[in-house]
A and B are shown apart, each in its own frame.
Chain A
Amino acid sequence: MTYMKKPNVRHPGLRKNELGLTRRDYEGLVSTLCAGCGHDSISAAIIEACFELDLPAHRLAKLSGIGCSSKTPTYFLNRSHGFNSVHGRMPSIATGANLANRDLIYLGVSGDGDTASIGLGQFCHAMRRRVNMIYIVENNGTYGLTKGQFSATSDRVSKSKKGEANLFEAIDLCTLAIHLGAGFVARGFSGDKNHLVPLIKAAFRYNGFAFIDIVSPCVTFNDHEDSTKSYDYVRAHNEAMDRLDLVPEREEITAQAEEGQTTTVRMHDGSLMRLHKLDDSYDPRDSESALTTLRKRYAKGQVVTGLLHIDDQDTDLHKLLGTTSQPLNAVPMSELCPGNAELAKINKGFR
C-alpha cells in the first residue's frame, strides 16, 4: 500500500548529519513495488545522497510522471513536496515550478516509457532550456505497470519475457542528452549503489540540467535470460568509466590522485567534484569523445556507466531569461502591479 506509513521508531544511535537528521528523516512511505525492484535501490540511493549532502528535504521538490518509476517519489523524502503529474509531462511541471521558485532543488523521477516514448518531446525541450534540475530515468526497458510491453529503450537484441523479438532500435537517452546540450550526463546501475550514490550527489551539486539514466532491472517482466536490462546481463557487461568523489568546499583536498587520471570540476556551490577515470579513452568534458565512446561500447554490447559528460558552463533557464535572483513567487504584488497612475498613461496610448 502506497499510503502505508513506516513505524516512527528510531534507533538512538543512528548517525546524524549536519542538520541533526538521520537517514530515517529522508525516507518515505513503504514501497509497493515488486520485491527486488531496481527502483527501490534507486530510492535508497537518493535517500543516502540527500542525507550525506545534508540537504534540507523541504527545500527539495520531487516530481514525476506516470509509471512504476514515477510512483517512487512516495517512497523517499517525506518532508518534500511531491508532484505526481501526468504521463510524460513531468519536465514541463518541473520547468514551471523552477521558474516560480529558483531557490529549491528539483528532482524529477521518470521511467523509460515516461521519458523515451510519451514524454520524449518534453524531455528534449527541458534539456534545451537548461532547466536547473536533476532528471533521473529509472530505465528498465519495459512497461512494468501494464505488464511487460517493450519500451523505446529496449535494445534491439533484447527479447520479451514471452520470447517475442523487439523490432525496433533503442533510443539511447544519454546520447540524446549529450546531443541536446545537457551539461551533466551520467549512467548508473541500480545494482551498484557505491557507484550510484556519488553520481546522484554530484548531480545535486550541478547547476543546470543534470541527467542520470539508471539501468534498473524489472524483476517481474524484464529480468530473464534474453533481456539486456536484467541484473545478470548488466553485471556482466557493465563498464564503469570512472569513480566519483564529491569534496565539499569546506573540506581540504588531502589525497592527490594519480596525474592524468583525475579531472577536477568546481561545482556551482564551490564544492569540487573529482572524477577518477578508469578509462583513458575519453574526456568527459568533450561531448564528441563521450558520444564516440558511448557508440563504440554500445556496439560491443557493453553498458557504460559513470559520468559520461560534464560541461561546467554554469548556465540555466533563469540566466537565459534574465530573471531576477529573488524567487518569482516571493516578489510582492505591490511590485508586480504597476498601479492606476501607470494605467492612465497606458490608456493614453490607446487614444
Chain B
Amino acid sequence: MKKINDFVVKFANVNGSGSASANLLFAKALFRMGLSVVPKNVFPSNIQGLPTWYEVRVSQSGRGARRGGVDVMVAMNPQTYAQDLADIVPGGYMIYDSSLPRPFPREDVNVLGIPIARMCADAYVSPRERQLFKNVVYVGALTALLDMDFKVVKQTVRDRFKGNAKLVDPNVEALKMGREFARRNFTCPLPIKVKKVKAAKDRIMITGNEAAGLGCLYAGASVAAWYPITPSTSLVEAFERHAKKFRLREDGTSNVAIVQAEDELAAIGIVIGAAWNGARSFTSTSGPGISLMGEFLGLAYFAEVPFVLFDVQRGGPSTGMPTRTQQSDITTCAYASHGDTKQVLLFPGDPKECFDLTVDAFDLAERLQTPVIVMSDLDIGMNEWVCDPLEWDDNRKHDRGKVMDADMLDRVKNFGRYWDVDGDGITYRTLPGTHPTKGAFFTRGSSHDAFAAYTEDGQVNAENMDRLTRKFEMAANRLPKPVIRKTSRTSKLGIINFGSTEPAVREACDLLSREGYKLNTMRLRAFPFGKEVAKFASQHERIFVVEQNRDAQMRSLLINEAGISPEKLVSVLDYEGMPLTAGWVKRKIEAVIESDKSVAQAMQLSAQAM
C-alpha cells in the first residue's frame, strides 16, 4: 500500500492532555510543506478525561472533506483502543504507547509500538512535562515515519512559541526523541508518506470563527455583546484579539466596546440598542442562544433595527450535541420569533466566505434595516480549513443605508420613520441626537403607522406588514447569489447544498461523474432565495438536497419559499454530528439514482408486457 500525499492520520487522545496543540502542529507543518490538509477536531463537551480525536486528511488533489477510514492511527487512549483499531483500513498502521505492551487482534494492521510514557518518564521530572511531551514525541515519530521535512516542523514549533522562546528547545528535543526512536526501530519512511509540493503554497489555514471575527473588524463593528457558548465563543474572542491591536487609539483608549453579557437576551439587547444608535454591532451564539433571542429578533424585525447575528450551529435539539456539527437551525432562524417574521440568512461555505459574507452582512443589515443572521456551523467555525487568503478592497465603501442627518432633515417637510417614500419598502431612519426639533420618533414593537405612532387600526397595520413583505422580497435580489456548477448542460439531476457540506458534495459529485452520473450543483448562500433558485429547480427533474439535520429544513424552505415542487426534491440527510464524507454523499445519491433506474426499467417492462 503506497500512498504519497494522500492518506488519513488520526490521533486518539484523552482530552485535557495537551494533545490538541501537538496535533495542530502536525497539521500545520504538513500544510507548510505545501500539502492540502483537512484537519477535524472531534472533541467532547468536557474539560478533562474523555476521549477526543483529531483527524488529518492529506489530499493530493486538494480535497477539503473528510475521507473516512484511517491509514495511520496514533492510539494514545486505551479507553478507545478497540474502536480505533477497527477504524484502520487493511494494511494501515497503528501507533500506540507500548510502555505497557499489548497485542492487537488484527492481522491486517501493522502495529508500531513506541514506549512513549517510559521515554518521557526517563527524560522529564515534572508530571506535567511527562504528560505534555508525550504528544510531541509521537509527532516526532511521525516526522520520520511520514518523511516530513524536519526543518519545516522545527520552524512551525518556533512560530508556535513566538514570544515564549524558552519552550522552543524542549519541544524540538521531544520531537527529536520520537524521531530518533522511529528511525532506530522502524523502517522509515513508511510506504505512506509525504512529499513537498506547492498545492497549498498561496493559501491560508484558518477557522471560520477567526475569519468571521476579522470580518466584523473590517466591517467596522464597534459594539459586540455575547454570552459564551460552544461553538461560537471563539468568534468574539477572535474579534477581541484583533480589536485589541487595531482598535487602539494613540491616547490608549479603544474605539470598540465588547461586553460579555449575563445571557443571550442581554447580549442581543445590547446589540440592538447600539445598532439603533448607529454603531455597527453584532452578537454570536449557537442554537440555545437563538431560542433565547427569539423575542428580540421579532422586535428588531418589526422595528427594523439592523445588526448582525452569528449562529454557529451545533447538534440540537435542546443542549443536544454541543461539540458536534449540524445545520439544524435553518427554519428556526428563517422564521425566528412569534407572529409573521422572516429573517435574512447568509450561508458561508468556508472560512474565506465567513469573512466576505460577514462584511456583506453588515452592509445588508443597514441597507435593508433588518437583522442578518450568518449561519455558520461548528465544522466551519472551529475547524481549520485550507482556503484562499482573505482580501479587502480598499475602494470598498461601507453601505450605511438610509440614515438622515441634520442637513437632510432640514431639507424635508415631514419625516416618517416608516414612510416608504422610495417605494422599495425601505424607509429612512434617524439616529438619536441628530436634530433639535426634527426626526425624533418612537421605536416600538407594537403596531405602528408610517410615523412610528402606535396604532390599533388593522388596515394601517396590514399595510405596514405588506411593506415589510415588499422589503423582504426586494432583499432577495441584493443578497449573495447561489454558486451554480454545471457538469452537464443536459443533465436533469441536480444537488442543492449550503454551508460546510460543500467540500464533501463537490468531491461526491466528481466521484459520481466518474461513474457516469452527471449532476449539476447549486450551493445556496442566502435566504430569501433569489430567482436563480427557482430557475435551477426548473432545469432539473431530480434534485438532491444535502443537509445536516433530520427534518429536511432547507428542503421545506425551498418548497415553501421558492415554490419548488416537493416531488423533485430528494433529501440526503445526516444528523450524526460529524462533517460529511464524500463517500457517504455519493452512496446516498447513487442509491436513489439506481432505484429510480430500476423503477423506470420495471415500468418499461410492465408496459411491454401489456
Contacts from A to B (Cβ < 8 Å): 2-3, 56-59, 61, 63, 73-74, 78-86, 89, 91-101, 103-104, 121-122, 124-125, 129, 317-318, 321-326, 328-329, 331, 333, 335-340, 342-344, 346-347, 350-351
Additional A-B contacts beyond A3-B449, A323-B253 (7; CB < 8 A): A82-B442, A96-B277, A100-B274, A100-B278, A122-B262, A125-B262, A333-B398
- Contact: A101 with B445, CB < 8 Å? no
Give Cα distance in the complex from A340 to B390, angstroms.
9
A83-B269 CB under 8 A given contacts A3-B455, A59-B433, A121-B263: no
Q: Say whether B150 faces chain A, with CB atoms less than 8 Å apart.
A: no
Nearest residue (CB) in B for A103 is B433
Known contacts being A86-B299, A329-B279, A343-B392, is A350 close to B443, with CB within 8 Å? no
A74 contact from B251, B397, B442, Cβ within 8 A = B442
Contacts of B436 in A (CB 8 A): 56-58, 79
Contact A340 B432 (CB under 8 A): no
* A100/B273 contact (C-beta < 8 A), A81-B432, A322-B252, A351-B32 known: yes
Q: Which A residue's beta carbon lies closest to that of B434?
A: A58
Q: Which residues of A are found within 8 Å of B261, using beta-carbon distances? A: 92, 125
A344 to B431, CA, bound (A): 35
User: CB-CB < 8 A to A80: which residues of B?
Assistant: 432, 440
A93 to B303, CA, bound (A): 13
- In whole angstroms, what is the CA distance A328 to B259 when docked? 14
B214 at the interface (CB under 8 A from A): yes
**Among the interface residues B204, B266, B275, which one has the most CB atoms of the partner chain A within 10 A?**
B266
The 10 closest A-B pairs by CB, nearest first: A96-B273, A92-B269, A100-B279, A81-B432, A329-B278, A100-B277, A96-B270, A96-B274, A336-B220, A350-B204
Asked if B81 is at the interface (CB within 8 A of a chain A CB), the reply is no
- Selected from B247, B273, B397, the residue in CB contact (under 8 A) with A83 is B273
Inter-chain contact B223/A122, CB cutoff 8 Å: no
Distance, CA A104 to CA B339, complexed state (A): 33
Give B41 Cβ to nearest chain A Cβ, in Å: 17
Q: What's the nearest-Cβ distance from chain B to residue A109, in Å?
A: 13
**Do A122 and B257 have beta carbons less than 8 Å apart?**
no
Bound Cα distance from A74 to B452, whole angstroms: 11
The reply to whether A329 and B392 contact each other, CB–CB distance below 8 Å, is no
Give the nearest-CB partner of B247 in chain A.
A336
Minimum CB distance partner of B222 in chain A? A328
* Chain A residues, Cβ within 8 Å of B251: 324
Alpha-carbon distance between A52 and B570 when the two chains are bound, in angstroms? 70
- Closest residue on chain A to residue B278 by CB atoms: A329
The CA-CA distance from A350 to B27 in the complex, in Å, is 12
**Residue in chain B with minimal CB distance to A64:** B444
B277 near A331: Cβ-Cβ < 8 Å: no
Task: Tell me the complex Cα distance, A122–B281, Å.
Answer: 19
Q: Please, which residue of chain B has its CB at the minimum distance from the CB of A93? A: B273
Residue pair B390, A2 in contact (C-beta under 8 Å): no
> Are B279 and A99 in contact (CB-based, < 8 A)?
yes
- Beyond A2-B454, A322-B252, A322-B253, whether A58 also contacts B437 by CB under 8 A is yes
Q: How far is the CA of A339 from the CA of B242 in the complex (A)?
A: 13
Q: Are B266 and A92 in contact (CB under 8 A)?
A: yes
Distance between Cα atoms of A91 and B259 in the complex (Å): 14
A-B contact pairs, 11 of them (CB 8 A): A58-B437, A63-B273, A80-B432, A81-B442, A81-B443, A89-B265, A92-B268, A96-B223, A324-B249, A336-B247, A347-B390
Contact B432 A97 (CB under 8 A): yes
CA distance A104 to B435 in the complex (A): 13
Q: Could you tell me if A100 and B281 are in contact, using CB atoms closer than 8 angstroms?
A: yes
Question: A94–B219 Cα gap in the complex (Å)?
Answer: 23
| Chain B residues within an 8 Å CB radius of A342 | 246
A83 to B430, CA, bound (A): 13
Given contacts A84-B445, A122-B262, contact A346 B222 (CB under 8 A): no
Q: Whole-angstrom distance between the alpha carbons of A226 and B273 in the complex?
A: 40
Q: Check: B536 CB closer than 8 A to any chain A CB.
A: no
Chain A residue contacts of B437, Cβ below 8 A:
58, 79
> Which partner residue on chain B sits nearest A62 by CB separation?
B442
Closest B residue by C-beta to A330: B278
> Which B-chain residue is minimally distant from A325 (CB atoms)?
B253
Contact B259 A99 (CB under 8 A): yes
* Bound: A122/B269 CA distance, A: 10
Q: A81-B432, A86-B445 are in contact. Are A324 and B265 (CB under 8 A)?
A: no
For the complex, what is the distance from the CA of A81 to the CA of B442, rounded to whole Å? 6
Chain A residues closer than 8 Å to B249, beta-carbon distance: 324
Interface readout for B276-293 with A: 1 if CB under 8 Å, 0 if not?
Answer: 111111000000000000
Chain A residue nearest in CB terms to B225: A96
Q: In residues 166-199 of chain B, which contact A (Cβ within 8 Å)?
A: none
Complex partner residue of B272 from A96, A104, A350, CB under 8 angstroms: A96
Contact pattern, B 417-441, Cβ under 8 Å of A = 1, otherwise 0: 0000000000000111111110011
Cβ contact within 8 Å between B254 and A322: yes
- Which of B392, B430, B454 lies in contact with A3, CB distance below 8 A? B454
Q: Which of the residues B217, B223, B225, B256 comes within 8 Å of A338, measured between beta carbons?
A: B217
A81 to B206, CA, bound (A): 43
Identify the closest chain A residue to B200 (Cβ). A351
Complex Cα gap A91–B269 (Å):
8
* Bound-state Cα–Cα, A215 to B271, Å: 32
Interface presence of B563 (CB below 8 A): no
Residue pair B255, A323 in contact (C-beta under 8 Å): yes
Query: Which residue of B has the minimal Cβ distance to A323?
Result: B257
For the complex, give the distance between the alpha carbons of A343 and B274 in Å: 27
For the complex, is B393 an interface residue (Cβ under 8 Å from A)?
A: yes
Q: Which residues of B contact A86 (CB under 8 A)?
A: 295-296, 299, 445
Instruction: Indicate if the CB atoms of B259 and A95 lie closer than 8 Å.
Output: yes
The answer on a CB contact under 8 Å between B273 and A329 is: no
Tell me which residues across on chain B come within 8 A of A97, comparing CB atoms.
273-274, 276-277, 432
Q: List which B13-64 residues lie within 8 A (CB) of chain A.
A: 32
Q: For the complex, what is the distance from the CA of A123 to the CA of B445, rounded to whole Å? A: 20
Residues of chain A within 8 A (CB-CB) of B389 are 344, 347, 350
Q: In this assembly, does B453 line the interface, its C-beta being within 8 Å of a C-beta of chain A? A: yes
Question: Which of B249, B252, B257 has most A Cβ within 10 Å?
Answer: B257
Kindly list chain B residues whose C-beta atoms are within 8 Å of the C-beta of A83: 273, 276, 442-444
Q: Which residues of A contact B124 (CB under 8 A)?
A: none
Bound Cα distance A126, B281 (Å): 18
Check if A337 sits within 8 Å of B259, measured CB to CB: no
Complex Cα gap A321–B434 (Å): 26
Q: Are B262 and A58 closer than 8 Å at their CB atoms?
A: no
Kindly supply a per-residue 1/0 record for chain B positions 107-148, scoring 1 wherever the CB is within 8 Å of any chain A CB and 0 otherwise.
000000000000000000000000000000000000000000
The reply to whether A92 and B265 contact each other, CB–CB distance below 8 Å, is yes
**B299 engages A85 (CB within 8 Å):** yes
The A-contacting residues of B in range 442-463, CB under 8 angstroms, are 442-446, 449, 453-455
- Contact yes or no, B222 A343, CB < 8 A: no
Q: Which residues of A contact B219 (CB under 8 A)?
A: 337
> Chain A residues with Cβ under 8 A from B446's Cβ?
84
CB of A350 to closest CB in B, whole Å: 4
Give the CA-CA distance A85 to B275 in the complex, in Å: 13
CB distance from B278 to the nearest CB of A (A): 4
Asked whether, in the complex, the Cβ of A99 is within 8 Å of the Cβ of B443, the reply is no
Determine if B407 is an interface residue (Cβ-Cβ < 8 Å).
no
Does A328 lie within 8 Å of B223, measured CB to CB? yes
| Interfacial chain A residues near B161, Cβ < 8 Å | none
Q: Within 8 Å CB of B247, what residues of A?
A: 336
From 194 to 213 in chain B, residues with beta carbon under 8 angstroms from any chain A beta carbon are 204-206, 210
Determine the chain A residues whose CB is within 8 A of the CB of B274 once the complex forms.
Answer: 96-97, 99-100, 328-329
With a CB–CB cut-off of 8 A, which chain A residues contact B433? 58-59, 61, 81, 101, 103-104
Among B252, B398, B442, find the residue whose CB has the most chain A CB atoms closer than 10 A.
B442
- Measured CB to CB, the closest approach of chain B to A6, in angstroms, equals 14
On chain B, the residues within 8 Å of A337 by CB distance are 217-220, 392, 398
Q: Name the residue on B nearest A79 (C-beta).
A: B440
Contact assessment for B225 and A340 in the assembled complex, using a CB-CB cutoff below 8 Å: no
Q: Which residues of A contact B277 (CB under 8 A)?
A: 61, 96-97, 100-101, 104, 329
Chain B residues positioned under 8 Å from A335 (CB to CB): 255
A99 to B280 Cα, complex, angstroms: 11
Q: For A346, list chain B residues within 8 Å (CB).
A: 214, 242, 390
